[in-house]
Every structure is written in C-alpha cells, then in structure tokens.
Amino acid sequence: MIPWIPDKDRTDTYNVSVEVSSSINVDTTNDLAYVNKLSIEKLTTNIVVDAIKVTESDGSATIKVTVGYPQGEQSELDVDVAMHVYKASDYADGNPPIDTLTLKSITGLLRGDSKSVSFTWAVKDGSYIFVAIIDPDDLVKEVDEADNTFPSKEQTFGDSNVANLDDDEEDEGLLPAPSLVVVLAIFSMVALIRRRI
C-alpha cells in the first residue's frame, strides 16, 4: 500500500505506474504494472484530537478527550480512544507509560463534528503527562496518522507547595510592611513638624 495525495488544484487526468526493482527477480517483464492493474482507493478521512483537559477532585483525575472528524468519505464513523499515563520524566526520556487506562469508544462521530470521552485515574503524587491515542489499532484508514496522538500539559499532583516550618518560625517576629498611605502620612507629619520648628 502506497499512500498518495493528488494535488487538489489540478483537474487533469493522472497516469499512475509502479516500477519494482529487485536483484532476485529473474523476469524483468513483471517489473512494470500499469494503472489498469492497480487498485486505487479514495482516501480523505482524517480524525484528530481537538483537546485534552485534566481535572482533579477527591483523589482522582478526570481526563476529557475531544475527538474531531473534520473530513472523510463516510458521513459518520466509530473510533476507539486509548489513554496512557506517563511520569513526566519518563515521557521526556521516551520510556514506556506507567499505566494504560481502559479503551473507550466513540460511536456515530459525524463528519465535521466532534465528540468527547472521559477517563478516570486515581492520582499519585508527582508530575504526569496523559497521552490520548485515537484509533490505536489503525482500524480507520486516514490521510494523516501523525495527528492521532496528543499529550496533555504536565500535571502535578500532591503536596508540592507545602511551606517550610523553619521559614515560618523565622518570620514570626517581623512586623507587616506599612501601606503606601501610612508612609505618605508619616512623611507629611514630619514635614509639618519641621515647618513649625
């Protein structure tokens, strides 16, 4: 199978031929196949991940994936969505995911429209990246397979912003900074006292 995208601005007829070169082929008359022996299938379908949103509540994360179907031959199609969970450092280093969530399906996705599906993951402390993969088994023939994988922004869970107790103890004896109005009032009073003296 050889994918080919014709120029949409050209209206003329294309002639297609395929030449095969092989050092073990002893019959060179078989090396040329003309268009009347080829099967050409129109292919304009493309499905994409439009968005991925992660929210956390009560110790679990909800990952909402929006899948779009901007163009294609079918008026509607069904597509599977997979979700992989990576530690942020593992994702950057190309290591495998730490978790793979249950495959979800979107049915009746209309051409020119989009639909969403949600995953749930029990959060663990640390930084993670969620990667949505649409049509993971390549069941839908597409003109562009490269846009079927979409990572989330890095998500950090846990108590990463806990204050240091030693810093709190050092700050206890300090007075709060005066406001701008108080500072101006003090300067005005000093200036008035100097005039009277």
What is the arithmetic mean of pLDDT over 86-114? 95
pLDDT of residue 163: 40
Asked if the model's pLDDT at residue 43 lies above 50, the reply is yes
Residue 35 placed within a domain: no
What is the arithmetic mean of pLDDT over 121-150? 93
Contact 40, 17 (CB under 8 A): no
Q: Which CATH number goes with the domain that contains 89?
A: 2.60.40.10
Beta partners for residue 129, in sequence order:
86
Asked if the model's pLDDT at residue 16 lies above 70, the reply is yes
Residue 79 placed within a domain: yes
Percentage, residues of the chain above pLDDT 70: 68
Q: Which of 18-27, 94-103, 138-147 has the highest mean pLDDT?
A: 94-103
Question: Which structural domain range is residue 144 located in?
Answer: 46-157
Among 45, 51, 41, 43, smallest CA distance to 16 is for 41
Asked if the model's pLDDT at residue 144 lies above 70, the reply is yes
Residue 31 placed within a domain: no
Residue 140 placed within a domain: yes
Residue 87 makes CB contacts below 8 A (sequence gap 6+) with 95, 98, 126, 127, 128, 129
Pick 118 or 92 by higher pLDDT. Answer: 118
pLDDT of residue 169: 44
Residue 82 placed within a domain: yes
Q: How many CB atoms lie within 10 A of CB 6?
A: 10
Contact 143, 44 (CB under 8 A): yes
Residue 46 makes CB contacts below 8 A (sequence gap 6+) with 69, 70, 71, 72, 142, 143, 144, 147
Residue 165 placed within a domain: no
Asked if the model's pLDDT at residue 22 lies above 90, the reply is no
Q: What's the domain count of the chain? A: 1
pLDDT of residue 13: 74
Total-model pTM: 0.64
- Backbone dihedral region of 144: left (phi > 0), alpha (psi from -120 to 50 degrees) or beta? beta
Asked if the model's pLDDT at residue 7 lies above 90, the reply is no
Residue 173 placed within a domain: no
pLDDT of residue 15: 74
Residue 76 placed within a domain: yes
Structural tokens at position 179: 């406001």
* 156-190 pLDDT per residue, tens: 998 654 444 444 444 444 445 556 666 566 767 76
Pick 158 or 119 by higher pLDDT. Answer: 119
Average pLDDT, the chain: 80
